Amino acid sequence: MLEGKAKPVKKVLVTQSVTQQLIDLIMNGSIAPGEKLPTEKQLMEVFNVGRSSLREAIRALVALELIEVRVPEGTFVSKTFGGFFTKQLSLMSKISFGNVLELVEARIAIETDIVELATKKSTPEDLNVLSGIMDSMKNAPTSEIHQKFDVEFHLCLAKLARNSFLYETLKILNGTITWWIGKVAQIDSASQLATEQHECIVNAVLKRDSIEAVSAMRAHLTSVSDLLIASHKKEKNQIE
């Protein structure tokens, strides 16, 4: 089945090479979703690798949810690749000193689209929920509770947008967004500023003014991103 498509690999980075080739073969359709993989012996011959290297590659693909092992039937390609893409995005969302700017760009791109759709698609009941979260944020007795409702606010807007892909993307970034909000909350008056900016977003959504809502969201994320970047640079300088 794989003869002529897979290439024998060299001794250097054997496991990585086998893993990548199998990913490529699955993603380009050479091995179809739900299809059973050749036997371990056959794969060892196709890739010209040993049993231990092949098994490491298989374990990696299982962890990525691209394949599944069914005992005693064999090893099969997953029928859907949602788990694989989710894990890829999760890995990409890990924060380092080098990718904070990329995170800022991603959030602005995603959440301005979200708020525009939420303004157009939300129902009166949806808006009541959003307003309730806004009230809870304004009246939060502690910084921790304020941060909780801040995160909930952004996820609520994603639900109101009624786009499952955007919602799932924001959920993947949820841990990162929580980290971001926590960092910014440590800065004096940042929580008050964030509350005021959230109110501007809510008011625009309530008016069904998508242009104003996008502008308010962009202004909010740009403002808090400036605070995040300043905080991150300070930490980096302290470490260095």
In the chain, where the domains are located: 14-84, 93-239
User: Could you give the 3-state DSSP secondary structure of residue 75?
Assistant: strand
pLDDT digits (tens, 9 = 90+) for 171-230: 878 878 888 888 888 888 888 999 999 999 999 999 999 999 999 999 999 999 888 887
Q: How many residues does the chain have?
A: 240
Fold agreement between 14-84 and 93-239? no
Q: How much is the pLDDT for 11?
A: 46
- Domain 93-239 bears CATH identifier 1.20.120.530: yes
- Please name the CATH architecture into which domain 14-84 falls: Orthogonal Bundle (1.10)
User: What mean pLDDT do residues 123-130 have?
Assistant: 96
Residue 63 has pLDDT above 90, yes or no: no
Q: What is the largest CA-CA distance in the chain?
A: 66
Residue 30 has pLDDT above 90, yes or no: no
Residue 31 has pLDDT above 80, yes or no: yes
Q: Nearest to residue 47, comparing CAs of 84, 89, 5?
A: 5
Q: How much is the pLDDT for 3?
A: 60
Instruction: State which H helix or E strand residue 95 sits in.
Output: none
Average of per-residue pLDDT values in the chain: 85
pLDDT digits (tens, 9 = 90+) for 161-179: 999 888 888 887 887 888 8
Residue 12: which pLDDT band, with cuts at 50, 70 and 90?
A: very low
Residue 39 has pLDDT above 50, yes or no: yes
Query: What are the CA-CA distances from residue 187 to residues 103, 226, 227 (Å)?
Result: 20, 12, 8
Q: How much is the pLDDT for 98?
A: 60
Find the range with the poorest average confidence among 60-69, 74-83, 97-106. Answer: 97-106
Q: Which letter does DSSP use for residue 6 in this model?
A: S
Q: How much is the pLDDT for 45?
A: 92
Q: Nearest to residue 118, comparing CAs of 156, 152, 149?
A: 156
Query: What are the CA-CA distances from residue 55 to residues 2, 39, 40, 62, 108 (Å)?
Result: 18, 12, 8, 10, 41
- Triad 28, 80, 165: Cα angle to 5°: 100
Look at the block and give the residue holding tokens 């196709």: 46
Residue 239 has pLDDT above 60, yes or no: no
Start-to-end CA distance of the chain, whole Å, equals: 53
What predicted TM-score, i.e. pTM, was given to this entire model?
Answer: 0.62
Half-sphere exposure of 66 toward its Cβ, with a 13 Å CA cutoff? 24
Q: How much is the pLDDT for 97?
A: 56
Q: How much is the pLDDT for 106?
A: 87
User: Between residues 57 and 87, which one has the greater pLDDT?
Assistant: 57
The two three-digit tokens of residue 33, written as one number: 């979703």
Residue 24 has pLDDT above 70, yes or no: yes
